[in-house]
Amino acid sequence: MNTIAKNLLRFFVLIFIQIAILNNIQISGFVNPYIYVLFILLLPFEIPGWLLLILSFLLGISIDIFTNTLGMHASASVFAAFLRPYVLNYFSTRDGYEVGTSPGISDYGFTWFLKYALIIIVAHHSFLFFIEVFSFSNISETLLRIIFSSFFSLIIIVISQFLVFKNRTNSL
Amino acid sequence: MKNLLHFIVRFHFTILFIVIEVFSLLLLVNYNNYQKTQFLNSSNFISGGIYEKIAAVTDYLSLSTSNEELNRENTRLNNLLAASFKMSVDSSYLYNDTLYQQQYIYRTAKIINNSVNKQLNYITLDKGEVQGIKPEMAVVTEKGVVGVVKSVSRNFSTVISLLNNRLRISAKIKKNNYFGSLSWDGKDYRRARLYEIPFHVPIQPGDTILTSGYSSIFPEGLLLGTVDEVQPSSGSNFHQIVVLLSNDFKSLSYVKVVGDLLKKEKLELEKGEEQ
């Protein structure tokens, strides 16, 4: 599968998982994992900046259409996408990133991915939950919501990486 | 000019980010004008259709509870049927059928998407314009108020859930008819708050809260919940009242949409008074 088809498939699969399964997990108001961020995380290194922003906007707005929150997920996704090049730059190894690799566990290892994903997810969730309440009152509750949700998003995203990682080695 | 172009090319990433971000936030802020963005919500053809498919699967999980609820409702309605009454007084009586005019009309609808964990919760129903549902109709169950229809497409409609910061419902205390407004504070999906009840009004935990009927959306006297707790006021002239909602929003499956047949007349009259 080439890169475009793979990312396109990931786009739709993640939106479907988000709206069909994760949006229905209502343990409490504090645990709302949003794993669609994985799409932004796994886009190839060589992607031009404008395309990264536009794809993230499309991703966010698609989720928004299903949750009746037009603009909320879109703005959070675009914010996460904006941070991505800087975070990648910060974590880059001495030789930089190799051409043809993707920013996942399979190519750069567990610790690297965990750090990278954690920062993007926390940034995304913080933006999202503050936009959602649209105020700084009850800040402790919003912070708890960010912490718990980020934690669960990160776990789900890392586990999904291991599942997909296995498949990839088999198919290669 | 050359410098400007150079600047744009150099910082195109940041500039594009700011443009898209501002656009998203504008969308978010303007979302209340649902006419503008009516197409982009969960009642449009694609997302409504997908939600219906998902609901078709997940409905099996709540089949037994919803059956039980429907059974109970059936029994209650059976008890109201004319056939279940025996004429006990053998004398003639007058039945005046022009004395009453139907004001409210009820339609059942199935919930195909619902949430309780967001700050702004919305519900999607499987009925729309074709089935006679219009924006601003009330959505209720036999247990109490659920929300207000926000927008409709041909076959689906979106409902602002009572669990949505943006919805305020005119409510009254049953025992003394004082009225205030009820809205959700975004914390617990079982509890909402009743505002604007003055300090001198006696109120105890357990008091029933009903809709007031002053708005043109809800019929008067629908159950909203019971007073759970009256917190000590912090210097204001109003009570801080926590209301335990009568509906469990996590277990909703079928709802009734209430249309007010006399709404237009009432609104026209009130509009005339204001001018």
Interface confidence, given as ipTM, is: 0.83
| pTM for the whole structure | 0.68
Tell me the pLDDT tens digit for each residue of A23-58: 877 676 678 889 999 999 999 888 888 999 999 999
| Architecture field, domain B55-77+101-165+254-260 | Beta Barrel (2.40)
Contact list in B for residue A32 (CB cut-off 8 A) is 117-118
Question: What confidence tier does B69 reach under pLDDT thresholds 50, 70, 90?
Answer: confident
- For chain B, domain boundaries: 55-77+101-165+254-260, 169-250
Chain B residue whose CA is closest to A29: B117
What integer pLDDT is reported at residue B245 of this predicted model? 92
CATH topology of domain B169-250: Thrombin, subunit H (2.40.10)
- For chain A, domain boundaries: 3-48+83-171
What integer pLDDT is reported at residue B192 of this predicted model? 92
What integer pLDDT is reported at residue B36 of this predicted model? 47
- Interface touch B41/A29, C-beta < 8 Å: no
Nearest to B31, CA basis, from B193, B144, B177, B158: B158
From the CA of B103, how many Å to the nearest CA of chain A?
31
Comparing B55-77+101-165+254-260 with B169-250, is the CATH topology the same?
yes
Chain A residue whose CA is closest to B188: A29
Contact list in B for residue A66 (CB cut-off 8 A) is 42, 47, 50-51, 113
- Interface touch B186/A74, C-beta < 8 Å: no
